[in-house]
Structure 1
């Protein structure tokens, strides 16, 4: 009897992450704040904490909003005496940072986006997406007409075959015309 060893492999997310942290005015963005995962809090450039809860409740609260985010707020007294208040939160009494519960995965994707392998996969993704766009626009495969999984598989396979034949005609050399 053969024993199969299953090697666990991680799949790296080669997807772009939209960075919406930069602010329109000249104030500090959330990238200027330091995230401390052990304490589950942000630290402002002046060293003051931003926490999701400042007091303990008798019933534990999840702190997760409907948008799957956690809101971290600074203390109003810390912000009132801070020298960076005009640059940090000029129009509000204290600073607020919204952090997604999936931010750790976003950090991994941001780190991967800086690698040379990401640039290669970015170019390859464009090629694949262009083929799907061609199927949808030129070949009018904007919806499947056959029902069920097998019908959808057959229809998509036929469309991909037609697409490959069209590409093959362009790539193959054309010989001299036949005279007969």
Structure 2
């Protein structure tokens, strides 16, 4: 489903300017796809840090502290393990710094992008778009040319005002866009 939000009112669909009806602006499929990518990017950026960062920083800090204490204590049985423990404590300190930076990193992704508002198509708009539409073969599954919705569309017989070559007229439930198919 596309990232669109139906509007509560379509305004005055029968506005006339110089004798030609003025239709409202409808978002294009490209604009809808771009907005969906913006929303997906925002969702990916605004995860609350990394899940392993906080426990990783705390655990590696404790391990580093314990290993440094063991390396620096003058207890004789520890001397064969001083070099490996020193190397492990350095690696643990690096893990602590990396996890700490990831834990404290909070990218500012701004507010979540709003869904595009869908202005329903009027009957006059649908007739104008259908009159300029080329012959399209019937397909059981197809996307709405207005909003990209791929749900099941209502199908009806064409009326006299629709193209002669049409065998079915489809209507989208999201944006009220109608188009014909042969």
**Which is higher, the Rg of structure 1 or of structure 2?**
2
Q: Same fold (TM over 0.5)?
A: no
TM-score, length of structure 1 as denominator length: 0.19
Compute the TM-score of the two structures, normalised by the length of structure 2: 0.19
